[in-house]
Amino acid sequence: MDDVFRALADASRRRLLDDLNRQDGQSLRELCTGLDMTRQSVSKHLAVLAAANLVTTVRRGREKLHYLNPVPINAVAERWIDRYDRERVRALADLRTALEREPMDSPTFVYTTYVNTTPERLWAALTEPEFTRRYWGGVALRSDWRVGSPVLWQDEPGGEFRDLGQRVLVAEPFRRLSYSWHGFQPEHAAHFGWSAEELAARLGERRSRVTFDIAPYGGFVKLTVTHEDFSPGSEMYRAVSGQLDGSGGWPELLASLKSLLETGEPLPEPRPESATAQG
């Protein structure tokens, strides 16, 4: 947390975070636009933000795209904002989580966390049904994890494994896993309180894809989740990023995964009243 506050102490770095909050996934060239700084200076500021885990980079061809990472900002919120009266910490008002971003034409959700585990164990947590069931809220994922194979969902123990159209795109054990994402299902309408017309509109969204990149990081493992290729104005993007009422999205699920691997227990299920407040 000290690294986070040191990174935020500079006005130029705060402006870069604000720029990413308004439009995530920008290149160095795009971030330099409108700044009275040299490209080298902007690059140095981004390096400080990356060292504090406030910015995550993803390479796309020859370009390196920068994304605002909400993990340390959420930690600041839990440590300082939630514990004390919000009116007394207005100096932190510019800290926006990734959950408050404005919709973009082609939104991409990127989330980085560091887990005290091994790449092998993290891979097992992503691919073994009995592992996924514990932190996915009872959902088990099953596949042979070969490119082109289906990723099947089981909603409860003993239930039928369903094919929701998800397919394995990349499977490099202990390094990278990617698969296409499911569309909305009829049960989502009841969960989110959608009308038949609203559900019909959301069923027309194209399939997105999620990628898990795993890399050793000292005694920890760096896990970067990139969820992309959403339709413009996608409700699925809002759901996976936790912006949709009743959905904790990837931030909640990955926090539960981290807790399971580090403590042996996933996050507890939220009580109904707290779930409503979080929505």
**pLDDT category of residue 148 using cuts at 50, 70 and 90:** very high
Minimum mean pLDDT among 91-100, 168-177, 204-213, 253-262: which range? 91-100
Rounded mean pLDDT of 10-18? 89
pLDDT tens for 18-65 read 888 888 889 999 999 878 889 999 999 999 999 888 898 888 888 889
Q: Which two tokens stand for residue 108?
A: 């991409």
User: For the residues 87-91, what does the mean pLDDT come to?
Assistant: 44
Q: What is the mean pLDDT of the chain?
A: 84
Gap between the terminal Cα atoms of the chain: 26
Looking at the chain, the number of H-run helices and the number of E-run strands are 12, 9
What pLDDT, in 10s, does the model give residues 187-241?
Answer: 888 888 889 888 888 888 999 999 999 999 989 999 999 999 999 889 999 889 8
DSSP letter at 77 equals: I
pLDDT computed for residue 91 by the predictor: 43
Give residue 81's pLDDT band: very low, low, confident or very high (50, 70, 90): low
Residue 137 scores a pLDDT above 80: yes
Q: Which residue has the higher pLDDT, 149 or 51?
A: 149
Rounded to whole angstroms, how far apart are CA atoms 209 and 168? Answer: 10
> Does position 97 have pLDDT exceeding 60, yes or no?
no
Q: Which whole number is the average pLDDT over 70-83?
A: 65
Name the pLDDT band for 8 (thresholds 50, 70, 90): confident
DSSP 95: -
CB 115 within 8 A of CB 254: no
Q: Give the least confident one: 3-12, 59-68, 83-92.
A: 83-92
Work out the average pLDDT over 89-116. 62
Which candidate, 115, 88, 110, 89, places its Cα nearest to that of 99?
Answer: 110
What is the pLDDT at residue 268? Answer: 85
Do 219 and 117 touch, CB atoms closer than 8 A?
A: no
Tell me: pLDDT of 90 over 50. no
pLDDT over threshold 80, residue 149: yes
Span 232-255, average pLDDT:
87
Residue 145 has pLDDT above 60, yes or no: yes
d(CA 205, CA 233): 9
pTM of this prediction? 0.69
